[in-house]
Structure formats: structure tokens, C-alpha cells
Amino acid sequence: MMDDYSLPSWIYIAVLTVFVGGVMKKILASHLSPTPAVVAWLGATVLVERLWAFCVPAVLVLVLLGVICCLFSITRSMPATLLPAQGKAVFITGCDSGFGKATVKRLDSMGFEVFATVLDLLGDGARELQRTCSSHLTLLQVDITDQQQVHQALLDTKAKLGLKGLWGLVNNAGVCVNFGDTELSLMSNFRGCMEVNFFGTLSVTKNFLPLLRRSRGRIISISSPAGDQPFPCLSAYGASKAALNLLVNTLRHELEPWGVQVSVVLPSSYKTGQTSNHAYWEEKHKQLLQSLPPSLLEEYGEDYVNETKDLFDSFSSEANPDLSPVVNAIVEALLAPQLQPRYFAGPGVGLMYFIHSYCPFSLSNRFLQKLFMKKKLAPRALRKQSSFEVSSNNNNNNNNNNDEKLM
């Protein structure tokens, strides 16, 4: 029966085997949701069908694959044995609110020695942490874009740690200061995002690396899917996170010989910082309208800009207020015996990355547009152009009809 197979068939089977195996390996290593796993299962079924010609009992192969998948699922669902938190020191940035503040509370309750940076030591967030956390918490006023403040935070941390190294650095501080098309976004927004999300994080990481190398510790950075995928109207934020993601991947390779492990946490949409502050986005919207050149505003239309602001406002109001998935991912990254390269925190992130990695670009792009920015208005200039074309077509049709009548 094997003689019936020609060389092209052998090549087909080999390529299909490599593809299906690669897909399944990537899925199992990426903490994806069950939906993409079904796609991989269908691919495996096609492979089994091709192997039927070699007298391999397809049913037995499917059963074997099912048993393997079940064992893997059981293994992953079992609670992992985490490393002890006692005696470990962690430095975390951006703790006035959001992920940072929630993570500090969790780490402090677990027995970590936590060094947390805030922008305002007298602010509500800092006061809440001082009131609710133990004496093991050290609050430091740090703007991560200020090199002098970052260096002073390093000196303060070293003075308290003594000869003990730093187990974990959690790069959490970040900003998203823009909304709108790239052409409408201010250059100051691009620079502001890069200054905090990339350069600030890089500065903190470089300063604290000696302490991390001493303890063979870990670097955990909070990034965003917008750094890997082209979310509409988030170019400034996404570009800064893309730079951060590449930095993380590079550090992972460079620090491996030192025993320092590096990972990134990719959250879905959550209510943090200013995302749910309606007054903040209204002020940003007014600043944008005032700063745009009149000719550019005329081409896009104020109603187009207003719709974008309303869509952001609506998207923010629907964001998840429960930050625990992100906090859980950070804790696992700090204490798991084997650190994963990335952690998906929140529903739908795994599926999003699967579509981005394996589906055609047109499908992935449409998925992002439907998921994030469901715009109904086109820019004003395009609407006028469309109306002019429709009017011209109607006139041409009328002229043609008149010519036919005359004939």
C-alpha cells in the first residue's frame, strides 16, 4: 500500500506533520484558550487521515492524542508548587493606583519585602498602602523618567537590603496619553509614551540589574497586546510598548547566562489609572481640538474626532474592574519554579494572539477593528468625496438615459 504514494504525497505529509506539530507546540506553550486548541485538533485529525494509508489505526491515534491532551490539561490545572515568598525582596514601579497598588498589597500579604515607587508620597494611593500594608513595605517617591530619582531609589534600596540581592523587579509604571489617528495625535503624546513606557523602564532596569544578577532574580514587565498588534488609534502607546517588548525579548537572551529570568505580562482591558476618568479624557479631547491645524480638522471633521473620543470612553467604561488576573500573573511569574516567557492576563488575549499568529493579515486586522474601534463615521473629506462620486454617477446615468431617448 505504501507503493501507491508518490514523492509529492510524502512531501505533503512531511510538511503537514511539521506544521501541525509546530502549531500544537506553540499553543501548549502559550496558555491559549480552548478555542484555538480545537483548531489544532482538527489539523491533527487531517494528519491522522493521511496516515491511514500506512495502516495506522486512525481511531487509536486519536484516542492516544486525546489521552495526551487530557493528561496535559490535568497537569496544568493542578496548582503549581510555588517558591516561598519569605525573605524575597521585590522592587515595583507605578504603585499609586491600578496594577501596581493591587500587586503591592498582595505581595506584602504573602511576606515579600516590597519596595514600591509612587509619584506622590502624600497621595491617596500612597496613604492607602501605608495604612493597609505591613512594616516590610518601603515607599519611594520616584518619577522613572528622572534619572537622579531612579538612582536615589537604587541607593535607598541597597542601603536597606545590605548584602542581600533583589529577587524581583516589576516594571509596572506606564502611561497611555493619546487617542486618535496617528495623523491627529500630538508629537508630545508619542514622546510622552516613549519617555515613560520605554526609556523610564529601561533606566530602572539598567540601574537595578546588578542587584538582580547577584541574586539570579527575575524581571517582570507589564506590557500590552498593543505592542504586538496594530490597534487602531493607539499608535503612540502601541509603539512604546512594541519597543518595550523587543527590549524584554533581547534581555531574555542576554541575561540567561547570568541566571536572571525575564518575562512579560500582557493584560486585556482593565480599569486602571486614568482609563475610567471621564473628566481626564474630556480635557485631553479639548487639548487635541485646540492644537490641530484648522485645515487638518476640516479634512477629518470635528464629528469624526468626537466619535473617536466617545468610543474610547465607552471602551473604558466596559473595562474589567477586577485586577486579580494581572496580579495573579505577576505573582506566578515571581514564584514559579520555571518562568514562562509571557503571561496572558485576562479573557480573550490568548485567542487574539492565536488569530494574529496563524490567520491571514486581513482577518486579523478586521478582528482588531471589530473588537476595539467600531467606527461608523469616515473622515469628512472622504465623505464629501464619496458624495461627489455618487452625485457624478447619478448625473452620468441621467445623461445616458437622455441619450438613449434621443436615439
- Residues with catalytic roles: 237
Which residues are 170's β-sheet partners? 92, 220
Note whether 248 and 290 are within 8 A (CB).
no
Q: Do residues 120 and 95 lie in contact, with contact meaning Cβ atoms separated by under 8 Å? A: no
Bridge partner list, 240: none
Q: Which three cell numbers stand for residue 156?
A: 535607598
On whether the CB atoms of residues 377 and 304 are closer than 8 A, the answer is yes
Q: DSSP 3-state helix, strand, coil percentages of the chain (rounded to 5)?
A: 65, 10, 25
Q: Which residues of 226-237 are buried (b: 16+ CB within 10 A; e: fewer)?
A: bbbbebbbbbbb
CB distance 203 to 171 below 8 Å: no
Q: CA-based angle 39:43:46, to the nearest 5?
A: 140
Element (H, E) at 187: helix 187-193
Distance of alpha carbon 151 from the chain centroid:
28
CA nearest 276: which of 176, 376, 377? 176
| φ, ψ for residue 336, nearest 5 deg | -65, 140
Half-sphere exposure of 167 (CA within 13 A, CB side): 18
Q: Under DSSP, is residue 228 helix (H, G, I), strand (E, B) or coil?
A: coil
- Reading the block at residue 146, the C-alpha cell is 528622572
Render 3-63 in DSSP notation, one character per residue: GG--HHHHHHHHHHHHHHHHHHHHHHHTT--HHHHHHHHHHHHHHHHHHGGGT--HHHHHH
The alpha-helical segments, DSSP class H, found in 256-359 are: 278-291, 294-300, 302-317, 324-335, 349-358
- Contact at 8 Å (CB) between 182 and 132? no
Q: Is 352 helix (H, G, I), strand (E, B) or coil?
A: helix
